[in-house]
Amino acid sequence: MNADKIPDIIIGRLPIYLRALQRMSAQGMKTTSSQELGDYVGISAAQIRKDISQFGEFGKQGTGYSIPFLMDKLREILKVNRMWDVAIVGLGDMGHALARYGGFGERGFRVAMLFDSDPAKVGDKVGSFVIEDISQLVERVRTCKIKLAMVAVPAASAQEVADKLVQAGVKAILNYAPTVLSVPEHVHVQHIDPSTHLQRMTFYLD
Amino acid sequence: MNADKIPDIIIGRLPIYLRALQRMSAQGMKTTSSQELGDYVGISAAQIRKDISQFGEFGKQGTGYSIPFLMDKLREILKVNRMWDVAIVGLGDMGHALARYGGFGERGFRVAMLFDSDPAKVGDKVGSFVIEDISQLVERVRTCKIKLAMVAVPAASAQEVADKLVQAGVKAILNYAPTVLSVPEHVHVQHIDPSTHLQRMTFYLD
């Protein structure tokens, strides 16, 4: 498998399949079909078979997919068969919500560090973590070899934070600030944007 | 145009194009090409031309797309050439962050009502809105004909909240709770899930 050859749009669907399989597994299911998985995630069975076959022959004609086996394979492909440390920058409402979010552990992520620029927040605890001063970010993130960060600062300071993260060796940024970030080509950015999700639904409304 | 005939996966890309065009416009740009727009959003020029042509002939060979014209058309298609009222249920950290989020207005949305079940929160103000008791939800949402809601309650109460919203006539739910919601077929649900976005990026890391 050559990562450069797989279209990013397919990569983007794999976490959705993995999430669905984890839910099926939690419900006690052991096997599924591309049809059933497709109904679950709203993607055609043919598309699912095509996407998954990019990585190998994981299903059997007639019996479908073993859920634990396919989960293992997807975790391996997405590299979440390990635990990734994540830094959160910006401990406003959103940063607090992320720091306390219960859905990371079983998906391969662990909040490891919190940073804010507000002296009134630095030193406060959120869960078991102490908020550190943003002036320490580059050194701390680099020392701990953290590769992932979530940015939940105001739009006006998001680029400056992204620059520091890149300097510290971060390779992937999940951006909650309502702004575009400029990063070098080797750094990945995803935006979380509630308006985009809402607009996808208003299309269907009267 | 028949909404039933357009694949949902195409609908899902239109808000991403619209967001990119709004940013280009904010930077003073007047026209763009499918190539330029594609580079901006990480989707091929051919795919963009194909997606947009589902709805009409909005570009010109040689000169590309007029940004204001294409923005108007996309807003019309996505029905965000009007303002949609949105209810927020659950005023924890995430609900507060959403209530204060600055990116809704220019995208077609207006936070209109806040609900929580915690008596300690009911009556508090967030911005210019008072948090109302969730026992009032069905009547208030129905009376004000609100069709969109964001759910930011704990996973354990999300289904109950979704049931109330559906009963009140809500047609689209943006779900921040880390759980699946069962809703009737005519109700649309989108999940906001940071782990899914992070997993899409770990694929590319070492």
- Cβ–Cβ gap B97/A101 under 8 Å: no
**Is B98's CB within 8 Å of A19's CB?**
no
Q: Looking at beta carbons, which residues of chain B come within 8 Å of A188?
A: 201, 204-205
Judged by phi (left if over 0) then psi (alpha if -120 to 50, else beta), residue A127 lies in: left
Nearest Cβ partner of B203 from A78, A86, A205? A78
Quote the pLDDT of residue A3.
57
- Residue-wise pLDDT for A57-74, tens only, equals 888 877 889 999 999 999
Closest-CA residue of chain A to B193: A103
| Alpha carbon of residue A93 to chain centroid | 19
Q: Which residue of B lies nearest to A169 if distances are taken between CA atoms?
A: B205
Which ranges of chain B does DSSP label H, i.e. alpha helix?
8-26, 34-41, 45-53, 67-77, 93-100, 137-143, 155-167, 194-202
Note down pLDDT in tens along chain B; length 206 residues.
Answer: 555 688 888 998 999 999 999 989 999 999 999 999 998 887 889 999 999 999 988 888 778 899 999 999 999 999 999 999 999 999 999 999 999 887 898 899 999 999 999 999 999 999 889 999 999 999 999 999 999 999 999 988 999 999 999 999 999 999 998 888 889 999 999 989 899 999 999 999 98
**A56 φ, ψ to 5°?**
145, 180
Do A174 and A192 contact (CB within 8 A), yes or no?
yes
Q: ipTM value of the model?
A: 0.92
Is the Cβ pair B42, A8 closer than 8 Å? yes
Q: Give the list of residues 6+ apart from residue A163 with CB closer than 8 angstroms, or none.
A: none
Nearest-neighbour CA in chain A from B147: distance (Å): 8
pLDDT in tens, A14-60: 999 999 999 899 999 999 999 999 888 878 899 999 999 999 888 88
Q: Do B203 and A107 touch (CB under 8 A)?
A: no
